[in-house]
Amino acid sequence: VSARVVITGIGVLTANANSATAYANALRDGRSGVRTMRRFDPGWPFRQAGEVDLEEADPTLDRVSQLAVSTAHQAVADACLPADGDWRRQAGVFAGTSRGPAIALETALLCGAEAVHPALLAEIPFHSVARNVAGRLGLEGPRVTVTMACVSSSLAVGRATSAVRHGRIRVALAGGVDALTNLSFSGFSVLRAMTKTVCRPFDRRRDGMVLGEGAGWLVLEEAEHARQRGARIYGEVCGWGTAGDAYHPTSPHPEGRGLRQAMAQALADAKLPVDAVDHVNLHGTGTAANDPAECRGIAGLFRERAPRVPVNSLKPMIGHTLGAAGVLELAGSVLGMYGGFIPPTLNHEEGDPACPLDVVKGASRETRVDTFISTKSAFGGANVAIVVRRTA
Amino acid sequence: VSGRVAVTGVGTVWGRTVGRDALRHVLYPDVPAVEVAGASAPSGRDAAPGMRQMDGLARIAVIAAKAALADASYQVGDDEADRIGLAFGTGYGCLASNYEYLEVIRARGTRLGNPVIFQNTVPNAATGYVAMATGIRGPNATFAAGKVAAAEALAFGREQIQDGWAFAALCGSADQLSIPTRWILGVQGPESAAGEARPFDRRRDGIVPREGACFVLLEDLARAEERQAKVQAEIIGMGQAGGRAGDAPPLAAAIRAALEDAQISPGFVDLVVSSANGSWIGDRHEAQAVLEVLPHSVPVTCPPARLGDTLGATMAFGLAAACLVFSVGRLPAFDPTFVPDPDCPLLFSDTEPRALQPQIVLLPIAGDDGTAHALLLQRYGS
């Protein structure tokens, strides 16, 4: 079995949007949600982040699961799947998260395990996100929890694509979630990865990243299943690939070796030549090490065409959402392809000679994209690339 | 490539023992242990210099992974490193490092966090260390899925080989006990007050959690044969099933899915390597699921009776134990005082040694995420 896999629903919660429609509008307008943090004091002078306004209505769920469940409902509604349909019996949940329900762990540590509702202790394991989403939405298919730092949700989309393609399921909810935590803010700060100004991916003056939080889900559906029910199709996930750097615990391979390999595998999986790619959504953290490594990975694959392929990074608009970054930024490019534009890389003004790329900057670029790649890289030297193409 | 997936190497860390032969001695105490050079699981200040940045989870993962490659006599060449996959599963991941980091910033302030500890606060840090230690650069994945974590890793590795993206895949799982892990296990069910793992025993009173790591090298069967590898088993089927919230994980459905994947009928299964861990409800559930699908005459052995509950590594250790049964030709004997639970009426064979040359082995496991997995192994050449 090798079924085609299409995207029929998108759910998004980011600092700049609370739905797929709002996200598309924010990205087209180049509107950032990065602001001074309100939920907690991270204890550092730089307190900007892509924080999500969420009414946490369920005290038995970690904030992370609340973000995930809320967004999953959105995605199902966006796909116009019936609330009580048979599709739920086999529908799988493929969740990616870097830190999981880390706020439950932080709360238990700060207040003592005895002071925490037992339900929140049960929330600490990473797999509670998939369990909660499946349980709250009544999805009875397989559950997979990917925990690969910043590529978590990208690999979740890949695994879901394979499950549908191989005929194991016909509908999958694939995505990811992460929340802003003391641990993340402190950790990336002591690693000196955070900006002291603004996040400026691929800019000569870049000085680091800005954190964010959020959740995103895609409804992935076997193409024939979607066609039979007359679903709107945003695009087709036609290939994906993953590769390791085997180089350093936190830094990417300086030549972008694993990234290039992941992209090559994704294109081979899609049976598409490199020349078919109209746009690359990059990881683009704005750190000193990441951006040039990505650029060299692109150069290694695209060769002389590399400086002419439009690329972008959405992190200046939503922050680096860690485990959710893969799906949220993929969703951004899907919505852009569907709407006829490429979202801009905010704050990018002066190109870096070490990154000779066609960075979409300033405002969104109105253009037709037929095929794009979204790439993400992570701690542990993990890289994932996903190829999406227009279906009509 | 053949699309058939062979197991050609097994590496384990359990307690302070390392390697397949050490595991054999644990499961079959009458079989002498074979000393392996450098075979101990170093920790803390005893760790080798290259391991000092790693947390405990990564250390045991790296040791087990290298032991699996050594057992397979497999050298990762630079020219093929992109076509060797790496999949790691963990039940509770790096919670110890998260806890350690948070304790430091709670006590000393958020600006005094330790960057070395921070890099270990994601589960795939261990995967990255294994990649660096082995040179593997191919398809790469990490899963944190509670008790079924190893099943996820094995499924990924097998699929990468079957789909042609990898010639081989090093797949494994590890878990480390820590304060937050104990919190979670405490919510899930009791630990044995007696400190004895007694799966399917009427006197069982809870689980005995144990740290451990187990990796296996999966290879495309044709390539393994071409390099004249010692094939220990063939994975012929895997199945996963989810279920309704609040219901027991649908283990019987997962077993049926694995049988369908392998295209064999239940009557061909002639051994069950159980994952039962001494949980009052969980053991009964597993017994019922096995009896629902398989004939009553299929013998059952249960490595957690000796190894304890190795959490996310349980299925990997079960696979290693099944390979040992293939090679030793008899089932291990664990507890001569075993008192059967009438609600678990399995042909449980762990009371005394029993000669057996199984052809097809089933490994079922139910997860705390509400899903269940099953894996079918076949004796090589069967």
User: Per the CB < 8 Å rule, is A380 touching B98?
Assistant: no
Closest CA of chain A from B326, distance in Å? 30
What's the per-residue H, E or C state across A188-202? HHHCCCECCCCCCCC
Residue A273 host element (H or E): none
- Tell me the chain A residues in contact with residue B82 when contact means C-beta distances shorter than 8 Å: 243, 261
Q: Quickly list DSSP for B35-64.
A: P-TT-S---GGGS-GGGTTS-HHHHHHHHH
Buried b vs exposed e over A198-235: b needs ≥16 C-beta within 10 Å? bbbbbbeebbbbbbbbbbbbbbbbbbebbeeeebebbb
Q: For residues A214 and A199, give the distance between their C-alpha atoms in angstroms, rounded to a whole number.
A: 17
* DSSP label of B379: -
Closest CA of chain A from B124, distance in Å? 5
Q: For residues B44 and B65, give the distance between their C-alpha atoms in angstroms, rounded to a whole number.
A: 19
3-state secondary structure of B185: helix
Q: How many alpha carbons fall within 13 Å on the CB side of residue B233? A: 27
Whether the complex's predicted ipTM is more than 0.90 is answered with yes
Supply the pLDDT for residue B166: 97
Query: Is residue A150 among the annotated active site residues?
Result: yes
From B124, B165, B180, residue closest to A378, measured CB to CB = B124
User: Per the CB < 8 Å rule, is A247 touching B105?
Assistant: no
User: Per the CB < 8 Å rule, is B141 touching A261?
Assistant: no
Task: Give, to the nearest 10 degrees, the angle between helix B20-27 and helix B314-328.
Answer: 80
From A135, A141, A189, residue closest to B245, measured CB to CB = A135
Cβ neighbours for A139, distance < 8 A, ≥ 6 positions apart: A88, A91, A92, A93, A133, A173, B242
CB < 8 Å from B in window 316-345 of A:
none
User: Per the CB < 8 Å rule, is B371 touching A138?
Assistant: no
Q: For residues A129 and B332, give the distance between their C-alpha atoms in angstroms, rounded to a whole number.
A: 38
Q: Quickly list DSSP for A32-78.
A: ---EE--S---SSS--EEB--------TTS-HHHHHHHHHHHHHHHH
Supply the pLDDT for residue A348: 97
From A43, A121, A248, residue closest to B110, measured CB to CB = A43
Question: In the structure encoding, which two tokens stand for residue B123, read together?
Answer: 């589960």
Candidates A127, A146, A196: best to mutate against B (most CBs of B within 10 A) is A127
> What are the residue ranges in chain A where pLDDT is below 70?
1
The answer to whether A152 and A216 are in contact (CB under 8 A) is no
Q: For residues A158 and A163, give the distance between their C-alpha atoms in angstroms, rounded to a whole number.
A: 9
User: Per the CB < 8 Å rule, is B137 touching A243?
Assistant: yes
Query: Is residue A225 among the annotated active site residues?
Result: no
- Tell me the chain B residues in contact with residue A376 when contact means C-beta distances shorter than 8 Å: none
Is A147 part of the contact surface with chain B (CB cutoff 8 Å)? Answer: yes
Is A154 part of the contact surface with chain B (CB cutoff 8 Å)? Answer: no
User: Per the CB < 8 Å rule, is A244 touching B144?
Assistant: no
What are residue B88's DSSP bridge partners?
B142, B172
Supply the pLDDT for residue B368: 87
Cα→Cα distances A37→A42, A43, A49, A362, Å: 8, 11, 6, 25
Check: pTM over 0.90? Answer yes or no.
yes
Give the Cβ contact number of residue A372 at 10 Å.
27
User: Per the CB < 8 Å rule, is A105 touching B98?
Assistant: yes
Query: Is residue A248 among the annotated active site residues?
Result: no
Q: For residues A124 and A183, give the distance between their C-alpha atoms in angstroms, rounded to a whole number.
A: 14
Candidates A41, A103, A126: best to mutate against B (most CBs of B within 10 A) is A126
CA-based radius of gyration for chain B: 20
> What are the residue ranges in chain B where pLDDT is below 70?
32-50
User: Per the CB < 8 Å rule, is B122 touching A147?
Assistant: yes
3-state secondary structure of B132: helix
User: Per the CB < 8 Å rule, is B111 touching A43?
Assistant: yes
Widest distance between CA atoms in chain B: 62
The answer to whether A243 and B140 are in contact (CB under 8 A) is yes
The answer to whether A127 and A143 are in contact (CB under 8 A) is yes
Nearest in space to B7 (alpha carbons), one of B359, B361, B257, B380: B380
B208-224 pLDDT per residue, tens = 999 999 999 999 999 99
The dihedral formed by the CA atoms of A21, A27, A28 and A31, expressed in degrees to the nearest 10: 110
Q: For residues A104 and A309, give the distance between their C-alpha atoms in angstroms, rounded to a whole number.
A: 43
User: Per the CB < 8 Å rule, is A124 touching B240?
Assistant: no
Catalytic, out of A238, A283, A348, A355: A283
Cα→Cα distances A147→A177, A178, B133, B214, Å: 11, 11, 20, 19
Cβ neighbours for A246, distance < 8 A, ≥ 6 positions apart: A258, A381, B81, B128, B131, B132, B134, B135, B136, B137
From A110, A131, A136, residue closest to B106, measured CB to CB = A110
Supply the pLDDT for residue A316: 98
Catalytic, out of A253, A279, A320, A348: A320
Is A128 part of the contact surface with chain B (CB cutoff 8 Å)? Answer: yes
The bridge status of strand B347-348 relative to strand B299-301 is parallel
Nearest in space to A192 (alpha carbons), one of B101, B52, B111: B111
- Tell me the chain A residues in contact with residue B151 when contact means C-beta distances shorter than 8 Å: none
Is A115 part of the contact surface with chain B (CB cutoff 8 Å)? Answer: no
Residue A227 host element (H or E): helix A223-228
From B105, B144, B156, residue closest to A186, measured CB to CB = B105
Closest CA of chain A from B243, distance in Å? 4
